[in-house]
């Protein structure tokens, strides 16, 4: 083989070695210490931000998928009719809207008018069929109305 063809071959080989060692080093950064003192390697496709599993420490439980089932009466809801404590009944559920008052895109008065009341007619009159308000409302659910 003449040297004219040897230099490009050596250059390509050197580049492959450099790239391979870089990828190997990236893979080594995913090696973590296991609880028993041995190392385990995670796949390159694993999420590096996900926590390692420690069998001696229980994993946190996800939030409950079922909505709160506490029952509230209208007497309880009426006691929360101010900007510092704003509850409303909407479609048979009770919502604590206190933290939503200042964030509502339609302004604070739109929410303040619902405090301590059944706001179903007002809510559905403004947002009937809209998915985003329904989804946002779920964040403030505290229980079920027993009316």
Using pLDDT thresholds of 50, 70 and 90, give the confidence band for residue 42: very low
CATH class of 71-145: alpha beta
Predicted confidence at residue 97, as pLDDT, reads: 95
Task: Enumerate residues 6+ apart whose C-beta is below 8 A from 145.
Answer: 71, 72, 74, 77, 89, 92, 93, 94, 118
What pLDDT does residue 46 have? 52
Token pair for 108 = 């604070």
Domain ranges of the chain: 3-40, 71-145
Compute the average pLDDT of residues 38-47.
Answer: 49
For the record, the structure tokens of 123 come out as 């809510």
Determine the Cα–Cα distance for residues 24 and 20; give it in Å rounded to an integer: 6
C-beta separation of 109 from 97 below 8 A: no
And the tokens for 42? 């995670």
Q: Cα(26)–Cα(17) distance, rounded to whole angstroms?
A: 14
pTM over 0.75: no
Residue 94 near residue 118, CB atoms below 8 Å = no
pLDDT tens track for 88-137: 999 999 999 999 999 898 899 999 999 999 999 999 888 887 888 888 88
């Amino acid at each position: 083989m003449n040297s004219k063809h040897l230099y490009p071959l050596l250059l390509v080989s050197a580049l492959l070695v450099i790239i391979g060692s870089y990828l190997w080093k990236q893979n080594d950064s995913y090696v973590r210490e296991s609880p028993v003192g041995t190392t385990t390697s995670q796949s390159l496709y694993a999420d590096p931000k996900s926590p390692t599993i420690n069998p001696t420490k229980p994993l946190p439980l996800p939030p409950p998928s079922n909505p709160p089932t506490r029952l509230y009466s209208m007497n309880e809801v009426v006691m929360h009719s101010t900007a510092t404590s704003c509850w409303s009944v909407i479609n048979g559920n009770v919502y604590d809207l206190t933290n939503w008052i200042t964030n509502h895109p339609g302004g604070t008065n739109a929410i303040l008018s619902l405090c301590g009341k059944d706001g179903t007619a007002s809510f559905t009159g403004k947002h009937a069929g809209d998915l985003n308000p329904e989804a946002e409302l779920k964040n403030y659910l505290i229980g079920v109305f027993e009316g």
